[in-house]
Amino acid sequence: MSHRIGRSFAGAAGCCVLLGQLLLSACGDGDATTAVRASDIPVAHTPPGGYGDVMPPLILERCTEPLADGAPDLRGLWTTETLLVDGVAAPPEHPLWQHVERIEQCGDRIVVTSTGVIHDMRADGTVENGVNDVSAINFQPISVVATFESDVLVLRPVGIPGIEVTRARDGDALVWHYGPAVEVRLRRL
């Protein structure tokens, strides 16, 4: 009987049949999955005072858009493996030894969540779509332009010429440079 009901609606204008709470797709390619682009998901911002000790839920989890051409795959949950400051191993009490960050990506969008902040950006070279949030150091407002350049995420803080923050893959590791002085090599958790 359900086959007969399905066929009776197959050529009708309302080609999808609602059965109770479940919407069944009876037309098109049969794929009930809806594509979700990076631009369909609202931009996330750091809550006042930071998010606390527990990371918020994933921001881009529903996104189905493939990574943009030229975007390095930096996705994952990462923690510090080695830490150099001015080329020398940092002392054990340096706070970056405890650093954990989560990177999400979708299209040209990237979200870095760590140390109380959510930096949600598009790597399109504009201030408008870059990081417009707060610094993890002091929660002061920041604007940062983001681009993908030669398999590297490059962040350039507005108003601070010559300073770059970069993230790139090196084999299974993630390498994060914070300006010219700090190099953090991270391993996936």
**What distances in angstroms separate CA 173 from CA 79, 80, 155, one per listed residue?**
10, 10, 19
**What pLDDT is attached to residue 30?**
36
Q: Please state the rounded mean pLDDT for residues 115-133.
A: 98
Are 99 and 79 spatial neighbours (Cβ–Cβ below 8 Å)? yes
Counted residue by residue, the chain has a size of: 189
- The β-bridge partners of 79 are 100, 187
Ranges of CATH 2.40.128.20 domains, the chain: 36-188
- The β-bridge partners of 134 are 141
pLDDT tens profile 75-107: 999 999 999 999 999 999 999 999 999 999 999
The torsion of the CA quartet 170, 174, 177, 178, rounded to 10 degrees, works out to: 170
**What pLDDT is attached to residue 31?**
45
Amino acid residing at 162: G
pLDDT tens profile 129-188: 999 999 999 999 999 999 999 999 999 999 999 999 999 999 999 999 999 999 999 999
Write out the E strands in 95-181.
Answer: 100-106, 109-114, 117-122, 131-134, 141-149, 152-157, 165-170, 173-178
The closest alpha carbon to 107, from 57, 62, 169, belongs to: 62
Higher per-residue pLDDT: 31 or 125? 125
- The rounded mean pLDDT for the chain is 85
pLDDT band at residue 28 using 50, 70 and 90 as cut-offs: very low
Given the candidates 2.40.128.20, 3.40.50.12780, 2.40.160.20, 3.40.50.1110, the CATH classification of the domain at 36-188 is: 2.40.128.20
What 3-state DSSP class applies to 44? coil
Give percent of the chain above pLDDT 90.
81
In this model, does residue 36 exceed pLDDT 70?
A: yes
The whole model's pTM is what?
Answer: 0.82
